Structure 1
């Protein structure tokens, strides 16, 4: 994960994961938008699974624990409010 831009109230983070891997359980400190550029993944939160694939997006409410299961090599972007962060259960992976 790489911060691409943070300005004018918005932070954009690029994400890329190989098929068969997961983005571990985490929360965002604000509402987050996951925009899929390539591939296919399952977003799991609040007891539901939602497919996220090339050309679509999902909104995840602030402080809602979730994870991303990658079905097909996945590349996308997370859009947050400026100053927000992503907090993983494993503190070694925090993104501010």
Structure 2
């Protein structure tokens, strides 16, 4: 996944946990009322069925590892 500084990715939840690994830059992961700042080299396990959203603080790239049968629900 990639985002430019200031981008706000859609709020969503997933049916299965996943792992995000930040390769470049910095972002904020808003999850369950808490904001987690993630920087290059950080990883985070995203639990299932919890609404979350990512905001890019600076241009960033990450790998998001998940199973092929994961399902997403997006919110406006």
| TM-score, L = length of structure 1 | 0.74
Is 1:28 aligned to residue 14 of structure 2?
yes
| Alignment-derived partner of residue 70 in structure 1 | 56
Alignment coverage as a number of residue pairs: 76
| Alignment-derived partner of residue 43 in structure 1 | 29
Which of 71, 79, 82 aligns to 2:68? It is: 82
RMSD between superposed Cα atoms in Å = 1.1
3-state SS of paired residue (1:22): coil
Work out which structure has the larger RCO, using CA pairs closer than 8 Å and 6 or more positions apart in sequence: 2
3-state SS of paired residue (2:9): strand
| Structure 1 stretches lacking a partner, 5+ long | 1-14, 91-96
| Structure 2 stretches lacking a partner, 5+ long | none
Counterparts of 1:83 and 1:53 in 2: how far apart (Å)?
A: 28
Larger Rg: 1
Which one has the bigger strand percentage? 1
